[in-house]
Amino acid sequence: MADRSRPLTADRVVPLLPGRFGRPYRWSEECASTQDELRDAGLPDGAVAVTDHQTGGRGRSGRSWSDVAGRSLLLSVLLRPPAGGPVEQLSLVVGLAVAEAIEATTGLATTIKWPNDVLVGERKVAGILLESSGETVICGIGVNVAQDDSELPAGTRLPSTSLRVATGRAQDRLTLLVALLASLESRYETWLAAALAPLLPELERRDALRGKAVTIGSHTGTAGGIASDGRLRILTPEGETLVASGEVVLQVSD
């Protein structure tokens, strides 16, 4: 059953928000991409756009992100981190917030495939896209919530799942959205105050790659955890390499 009868309109969401994230809150029944709904100047840190359906949803590395109307949580959050800071670390901050919100509202265990795919088991349940422009970073988050198996995308890099498929029961997008914005605000404030160090234990606990054979660009080796600056450690016969960004390909052993 689609969640379309319960759209994530401002009148339902804003009264439940515990902090400053989600203010202002922009909801649309349909848009091209929530990433483009927060472009006007002057919007504050924590402004949020949410939609029920995107006609031009974007994924990482130039891929598209498709959805079935009303089945996903689709949002963008505008952040204004200090100029010159390590904004690439925000991938991990947002990934952690998404993972925590899913765990808190569904009871599922999640992991994070560096830098920011959120998995349940071996399957991707949420994707994150960071787009920077000037002093703003727009964090796009897509969570598969209510899709059944037949509605999940096929042929993706990682197999997909939804919260409904993974738990075997319906999940409430409103509860998840409120938990996600609270978690993201809290984790972002921590990062602003003290960078990644206080978040590392929670990231390491959910590290989907540690000990796995991986290739990133020209680097092949064993994933050796996340460094304090957010880079991925790759252990090779020649020693340790730290990788700042890139697409991780898991090596499949025969």
Which of 24, 59, 153, 159 touches ligand BTN (CB under 6 A)?
59
Q: 């020209």: which residue's tokens?
A: 218
Least Å from the CB of residue 238 to ligand BTN: 31
Task: Tell me which H or E stretch contains 222.
Answer: strand 219-226
Nearer to ligand BTN, 152 or 224 (CB): 152
How far apart CA 228 and CA 231 sit, in angstroms, is 7
From residue 183 to residue 202, the character string flagging contacts with ligand BTN as x (rule: CB under 6 A) and all else as - is --------------------
Nearer to ligand BTN, 130 or 223 (CB): 130
Beta strands in 9-167 (DSSP E): 25-28, 48-51, 72-79, 111-113, 117-120, 123-133, 136-144
Q: Is 173 in the site for ligand BTN (CB under 6 A)?
A: no
Q: Is 46 in the site for ligand BTN (CB under 6 A)?
A: no
DSSP β-ladder status, 239-243 and 232-236: antiparallel
Q: Is 39 in the site for ligand BTN (CB under 6 A)?
A: no
Q: Is 145 in the site for ligand BTN (CB under 6 A)?
A: no
R_g (Cα) of the chain, nearest Å:
18
Residues in 80-109 at the binding interface with ligand BTN, rule: CB under 6 A? none
Least Å from the CB of residue 172 to ligand BTN: 18
Nearer to ligand BTN, 101 or 221 (CB): 101
Q: 């800071």: which residue's tokens?
A: 85
How far apart CA 184 and CA 139 sit, in angstroms, is 11
Amino acid found at 165 = V
Report helix, strand or coil for 223: strand
Nearer to ligand BTN, 6 or 63 (CB): 63
Binding site for ligand BTN (CB under 6 A): 33-35, 54, 57-60, 63, 65, 74-76, 117, 127-129, 140-142
